[in-house]
Amino acid sequence: MECPKEPLESQCSLSEMDDFDLTRALDKPRLKIERKRSFDERSMSELSTGYSRHDLDMAHSPGSRSFVDTPLSYVRNSFEPHPMVAEAWEALRRSMVFFRGQPVGTIAAYDHASEEVLNYDQVFVRDFVPSALAFLMNGEPDIVKNFLLKTLQLQGWEKRVDRFKLGEGVMPASFKVLHDPVRKTDTIVADFGESAIGRVAPVDSGFWWIILLRAYTKSTGDLTLSETPECQRGIRLILSLCLSEGFDTFPTLLCADGCSMVDRRMGVYGYPIEIQALFFMALRSALSMLKHDEEGREFIEKIVKRLHALSFHMRNYFWLDFQQLNDIYRYKTEEYSHTAVNKFNVMPDSIPDWVFDFMPLRGGYFVGNVSPARMDFRWFSLGNCVAILSSLATPDQSMAIMDLLEHRWEELVGEMPLKICYPCIESHEWRIVTGCDPKNTRWSYHNGGSWPVLLWMLTAACIKTGRPQIARRAIDLIESRLHRDCWPEYYDGKLGRYVGKQARKYQTWSIAGYLVAKMMLEDPSHIGMISLEEDKQMKPVLKRSASWTC
């Protein structure tokens, strides 16, 4: 596919605008300026005064269609959509995948210019989430329902890697629909990790599936799907993989490198923040959907206990701010017994130099990983945003994360939102940690690359914390480049200035992420689908940071 060379404004033909028929009514140049201004005033004053968190969680009234429909909402808010929006919708629809005539998902990338397809012609569970949210926000829930049911069926397959059988509840990383034009039949092949690089099963897929089921239910008000015995069983199977008792001494979930969005070796093994935050969110989402029947009750009890322990562990041991960094810096080591302060025997010498300069006096974040004698001090965007959305972060911690983002804008956002992690690893460390991976060289791909898809999570976190101006700044950056660069998968470089070395073009989740961010900012009540209120029973025991009370 050719990259458009003309200016944006000339790109939208009438047929492209079909999805936006109501916006066409606004097509009078003089009005355009006034409308734009009135939206800016409305959104900024309304949003920055902040909604109460309760309002945001509740505002998305189930079943309501009047404001989930994009064209209608544009009219209501009286502003003209950015021309990129129409193009994004068109590209998103082009990526739809059909199974026996029904839409069941979106492919990862529709990049015809690229010769290698690799596995980008598949429907990835994690990649479909922003597409699903875009469709839900636009009042088109069918594709989401079909996707949930199709993946539920795939969960029922027997899964093997060589001679080893995987747990029953594992959800696929991706699936592909094969069309046989002669026999006129459609079949599905799915990947549970048995053909993925490194042969790792996706731990995040099941969590995203539960989170999406809740989003569907919240958005449509249709309880009949989540209440079916099949969905209830699906939820229980996913959870039974994570809630079984064993050798664990921590409530966090132990996993292998490459089992989530970062699906190659990157030192993201053990207890990575991305998995812990998604685990927490999935547990809370499941709690709201599980029936209180005999089987359900058993799980509900386990979930409540786990949430309690997990939130304590994360809020205390994963949290890092100036004060906590100073405490770790002064830690004694080799402490035995219950009185130990340095419980995991972290060696102060293992604190990397960069973190001392990076840490502002005000602000904080959940570190990448905590395990015996190993703290990964890297910042990971997805885990921190999901921690805010799920209320794994306390309100003070959520504010501190946003403070950090503002303070370290150049490092974490730069010229293209948003760094997947910060900082990159290089030289000897890169050799050891990635196994010399040429795709994950410094400031590229998973190693400090910038991923536009993360914009929707940042926007949601901004709205939840009442700081939409931060999201607006990030969206402005995206709008200055993403379309011009043909919606790449990721950007490279310290500032995220260069289109990624091996980035796909027309990457679906870059497209959908942008749409979701726009729709949420325009109508913040959408956030109720993907955000959970603070649970007052899970208060933190320790309050460590000065920045929390500043």
Minimum gap (Å) between residue 170 Cβ and ligand GLC: 16
Cis peptide before 418 (omega within 30 of 0): yes
The nearest distance, CB 507 to ligand GLC, in angstroms, is 7
Looking at beta carbons only, is 317 or 430 nearer to ligand GLC? 430
Question: If you search the block for the tokens 């102060």, which residue do you land on?
Answer: 348
Q: Are 412 and 449 in contact (CB under 8 A)?
A: no
Give me the 228-267 binding string for ligand GLC, x by CB under 6 A, dash otherwise. Answer: ---------------------------------x-x----
What minimum distance in Å lies between the beta carbon of 509 and ligand GLC?
6
Return the residues of window 112-171 that contact ligand GLC according to CB under 6 A: 124, 126-127
The count of residues in the chain is 550
Q: Which is nearer to ligand GLC, 148 or 259 (CB)?
A: 259
Task: Calculate the dihedral angle through the C-alpha atoms of 490, 493, 498, 499, rounding to the nearest 10 degrees.
Answer: -20
Whole-number Cα distances in Å, 408 to 362, 365, 402, 404, 414: 11, 12, 10, 6, 9
With a CB cutoff of 8 Å and minimum separation 6, the contacts of 450 are 414, 416, 417, 418, 419, 420, 490, 491, 492, 493, 496
- Of the pair 456, 548, the CB lying nearest ligand GLC is at 456
- Residues in binding contact with ligand GLC, number by CB under 6 A: 6
Q: Cβ closer to ligand GLC: 196 or 538? A: 196
Of the pair 124, 318, the CB lying nearest ligand GLC is at 124
How far apart, in whole angstroms, are the C-alpha atoms of residue 58 and residue 528? 6
* Beta bridge pairs of residue 379: 422
Beta carbons within 8 Å of 294's beta carbon, 6+ residues apart: none
* Minimum CB–partner distance for residue 108 and ligand GLC (Å): 4
Nearest residue to ligand GLC, scored by beta-carbon proximity: 108
| Contacts for 153 with CB less than 8 Å, ≥ 6 apart | none
10 Å CB burial of residue 287 (0-12, 13-18, 19+) is: middle
In terms of CB distance, is 261 or 402 closer to ligand GLC? Answer: 261
CB of 124 to ligand GLC, least distance (A): 4
Nearer to ligand GLC, 127 or 437 (CB): 127
Least distance from ligand GLC to the Cβ atom of residue 459, Å: 19
List residues bridging with 364 in a β-sheet. 321
Q: How far is the CB of 263 from ligand GLC (least distance, A)?
A: 5
| Contact set with ligand GLC (CB under 6 A) | 108, 124, 126-127, 261, 263
